[in-house]
């Protein structure tokens, strides 16, 4: 588990939690292990992998869509680095802080594993929408997810057809 945060005058300005899921020679054991770690990772396991621990066929290359990427075998080998939580306080958003934090964590991950894929499911943190209700809440969540997707795509993450997950391979 890797956690990064920084404080400015004892106030937190950004936080991120990420961890490795390391495959095993027995890929079904890999799938079982993914299902017992934090909920994001269990969701990743059921969304993208079959019970044998291999990437589901619908996420493999078919060579039919030019604008839609596929992960193919990239996620069947190497470690998986899952971003669980990523937050930059509003005053520091759009100033390069998040990019620096993401680059730093991926740099640390490279030191631990030469071959890995980073995975993230863009979302909105409860702290961003808890004061809203109804349609206003839906609007805030949609905006936050859109911002997260734009940021992650700018970092080089790719989305596969039909999946909420983005991968950097």
* Alpha-helix residue ranges (DSSP H) falling in 113-133: 126-129
Phi, psi for residue 102 in degrees, rounded to 5: -60, -45
pLDDT interval class at 134 (50, 70, 90): very high
Task: Give the separation between CA 120 and CA 26, rounded to whole angstroms.
Answer: 24
3-state secondary structure of 157: coil
Residue 35, classified by CB atoms within 10 Å of its CB into exposed (0-12), middle (13-18) or buried (19+), is middle
3-state secondary structure of 114: coil
Longest dimension (CA), the chain: 53
- Sign for the CA dihedral angle at 156, 150, 79, 84 comes to positive
- Looking at residue 169, its pLDDT comes to 76
For range 105-127, the mean pLDDT: 82
Mean pLDDT, rounded, of the chain: 73
Domain with residue 162: its CATH number is 3.40.630
- Looking at residue 137, its pLDDT comes to 92
Q: Report how many domains make up the chain.
A: 1
Asked if pLDDT for residue 139 goes beyond 80, the answer is yes
Q: Range of 22's domain?
A: 2-168
Asked if pLDDT for residue 12 goes beyond 70, the answer is no
pTM of the entire predicted model: 0.70
> What is the percentage of the chain residues whose pLDDT exceeds 70?
63
- Looking at residue 83, its pLDDT comes to 82
Task: Label the pairing between strands 116-120 and 158-159.
Answer: unpaired
């Amino acid at each position: 588990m890797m956690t990064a945060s920084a404080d400015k005058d004892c106030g937190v300005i950004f936080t991120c939690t990420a961890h490795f899921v390391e495959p095993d020679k027995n890929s079904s054991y890999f799938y079982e292990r993914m299902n017992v770690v934090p909920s994001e990772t269990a969701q990743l396991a059921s969304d993208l992998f079959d019970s044998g621990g291999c990437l589901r066929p619908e996420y493999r290359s078919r060579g039919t869509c030019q604008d839609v990427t596929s992960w193919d075998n990239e996620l069947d080998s190497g470690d998986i680095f899952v971003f669980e939580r990523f937050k930059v306080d509003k005053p520091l958003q759009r100033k390069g802080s998040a990019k620096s934090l993401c680059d730093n964590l991926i740099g640390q991950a490279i030191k631990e594993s030469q071959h890995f894929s980073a995975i993230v499911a863009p979302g909105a943190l409860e702290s961003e929408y808890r004061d809203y209700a109804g349609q206003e809440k839906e609007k805030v969540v949609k905006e936050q997810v859109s911002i997260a997707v734009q940021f992650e795509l700018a970092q080089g993450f790719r989305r596969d057809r039909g999946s909420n997950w983005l991968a950097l391979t």
